[in-house]
Amino acid sequence: MGRLLALTFTYLAYMLAIAIASERQQHRVQHGPCSYTFILPEVEHCHPLKDFQVTNILQRDSPPEAEPDTSQTKESKAQKERPSWQERKLQSLESAMENNTQWLQKLENFINENVRSGVEEIKRTAVHTQTAAMLEMGTNLLSQSAEQTRKLTDVETQVLNQTSRLEIQLLEYSLFTNRLEKHILLQTQEISRLSDKNSFLEQRLLTLEGRYGRELKGLQSEKQQLQELLERQSQLVSQLQHELGSSSLNSTLLQRQQAMLTDTVQQLLAVANHCNEISNMPKEEPLSFRDCAEILRSGVKESGIYSIRLHNSTQTVKVFCDMKTRGGGWTVIQHRRNGSVDFHRGWRDYKTGFGESSGEHWLGNDIIHELTSSQDYSLHVQLRDREGNEAYSHYDHFYIDGEDKNYSLHAEGFSGTAGRTSSLSHAGSQFSTKDRDNDRCTCKCAQLASGGWWFDACGPSNLNGIYYPASSSVVRYNSIKWYYWKGPNVIATMTTMMVRPANF
C-alpha cells in the first residue's frame, strides 16, 4: 500500500512539472556546433520582499549590485505596478495547485482510511500466518522431539537389554568359573589321592617283585624237575607205542567182526520194521495207491493220513490227504499252522522230510520229485492271515527236478486270489538251504530269510520262513512270505502246499 501511495505522489509531481514547464519560457543559447536550452524562473507575479530583486540574468557569486537610482522614471514604476501575464499565470497555477492540494488531501484521507483497514487486515493475516507457521513449526518440533525421544527410548532399551544380557553372561561365566574352580580343586585332590595310591602301589609292586622273584626261582627248579619227568614219560610212551603196534593187528580183526555184527543187526531191524508196517496197515488201504487222488477214487471221502507207494518203487510213504478242498484228492507236501516245528534246517532234512503228517511237516524233496515226475501234477497253495482271511494260488502244471539238479522248480498256469501274479520264483530256480546255497544272489538268502526254499535272488515268496504268531505286529524279513498277496505286511498263520494230478 505504501508503494501505491508513493507512485501516486510521483505521478502528481510529474504532471505538475509538465504543466509548469509548458507555460515557462525557454531560452536557447548557441555555442559553436552545440546548443543549450534553459528554463529560467519567472517571478513577475510574485511579491518579493523589499530588499529582494528579480532579474533574468544568470546568478553569480558576486555581491548584488547597488540599488538603482531613485531617479527612475514614472513609466517604469507604473509598468511595475501593472500585473503582467506571468503573474496571472502564477495565480492560475496557484489556484490549480490549491485544487490539486485539496484533491490530494481527499485522496490521502481516502487512502489512509483504506490503507489503515488493509494494513490492519494485512497485520491480522500476517499474525495468523505467522501463528500458523509457528504452530506448524512447533508441531514439527514436537514430532521431531517425540521421534528423538522414541529413538532415545529404543536405544536406552537396547542398551538395557544388552546390559542385562552381559550381566547374565557375566553371571554364567562367574558360575562356570566357580564350577571350574571346584572341578579343578576336586581334580587336584584326586591327583593327590592317586599320587598317594601310586606310592602305595609302587611299594607293593616292589614287595611283589621280591616275592615273585623268589617264586620264579622255585618255578625254575620245578621246571627242571618236570623236564626230567617228561623225559622219563617220553621213554614210557615209546614203550607203549611199541606195545600198541603189536596190539593193533588184534584190534583190526575185532573191528571187522563188529562191522559184520552191525550189518546183521540192521538187516534184522529192517525186517522187523517191515513186519510192523504190514501188521499196522489198514485193510482198506491197498499198497497200490500212488497218491491221494487214487484213494479218493477208491471211495474214501474223509481227510486223514494214508500210505501211498511211489511209482516204480516198493517204498511206502505216509501222507496227509485233503479230501474236501476243491473236490479233494490232494496230497499235502507242506503244512504249517502253529510254529511247533523248526523249518530252519539243512539240506539233508529237506531232502528226506521232517515233521508229522498230521501236523506241521515237509514231505521231502526226494518224495516230491518222485511223485510229481510220475505224471503231470497241479499245485495248490492255500493261505490264511491273522484276521482269518483266506486266499489261494493255483498252478496247472508243477514238478521239481532231482537232487542232481538241486530240485529245480517248474510251475506254470497261475490263477487264484492270492495276488494278481505268481509269488513263486520263475522256472528253473534251484532249492537252497542254510548249508547249501544255490540262489542267484551274492548273499545267502536261506540264511537271511531262514528255511529252505526256491529263493532264486531272495524272491517274493518263502513259505518255510520263521513262524511268528498272530499277536505279533512286527513284520520281519525272515517270516513266512507270499509277497503278491498283501505285500510285505502279511503275517500268515496257516499255509498248505498240496498236489493232485492235472487231469483229475
* Greater model confidence, 301 or 91: 301
Residue 421, pLDDT above cutoff 60: yes
Average pLDDT, the chain: 79
125-129, 353-357, 499-503: which has the minimum mean pLDDT?
125-129
| Residues 277 and 334: beta-carbon distance below 8 Å | no
Q: Residue 406, CB half-sphere, CA atoms under 13 Å: how many?
A: 16
- The 10s digit of each residue's pLDDT in 129-168 is 888 888 888 888 888 888 888 888 888 888 888 888 888 8
**Whether residue 304 has pLDDT greater than 70:** yes
Beta pairing class for 377-385 and 492-501 = antiparallel
pLDDT at 112: 77
Secondary structure class of 24 (helix, strand, coil): coil
Distance CA 78, CA 84 (A): 12
- C-alpha grid cell, residue 353: 522230510
Contact 455, 425 (CB under 8 A): yes
d(CA 202, CA 441): 61
Neighbours of 406 (CB within 10 A): 18
Backbone angles phi, psi at 485, to 5 degrees: -85, -60
What's the confidence (pLDDT) of residue 248? Answer: 57
Mean pLDDT in residue range 263-283: 58
Pick from 38-52, 54-68, 143-157: least confident: 54-68
Task: Give 382: exposed, middle or buried? Use CB within 10 Å, 0-12, 13-18, 19+.
Answer: buried
Task: Look at 15 and 443; give whichever has higher pLDDT.
Answer: 443
Element containing residue 109 per DSSP (H, E): helix 85-280
DSSP 245-314: HHHHHHHHHHHHHHHHHHHHHHHHHHHHHHHHHHHHS-TT--TT--SHHHHHHTT--S-EEEEEE-TT--
How high is the pLDDT of residue 312? 79
End-to-end CA distance of the chain: 136
- Vertex 413 angle, CA 410 and 415, to 5°: 125
* 295 vs 465: CA distance, rounded Å: 32
| Residue 387 pLDDT | 87
Residues near 439 by beta carbon (within 8 Å), at least 6 away in sequence:
429, 430, 432, 445, 446, 455, 456, 457, 458
pLDDT tens string 187-241 = 888 888 888 887 888 888 888 888 878 888 888 887 887 777 777 777 777 777 6
- CA distances to 11, 29, 39, 58, 93 from 22, in Å: 17, 19, 10, 21, 12
- In this prediction, residues 4-11 reach a mean pLDDT of 61
Residue 202 grid cell: 609302587
pLDDT, average across residues 99-106: 81
Among 398, 429, 426, CA closest to 331: 398
Cell numbers of 307, please?
500210505
Residue 333 in 3-state DSSP?
strand
The grid cell for 40 is 529560467
- Residue scoring higher pLDDT (453 or 53): 453
User: How much is the pTM?
Assistant: 0.46
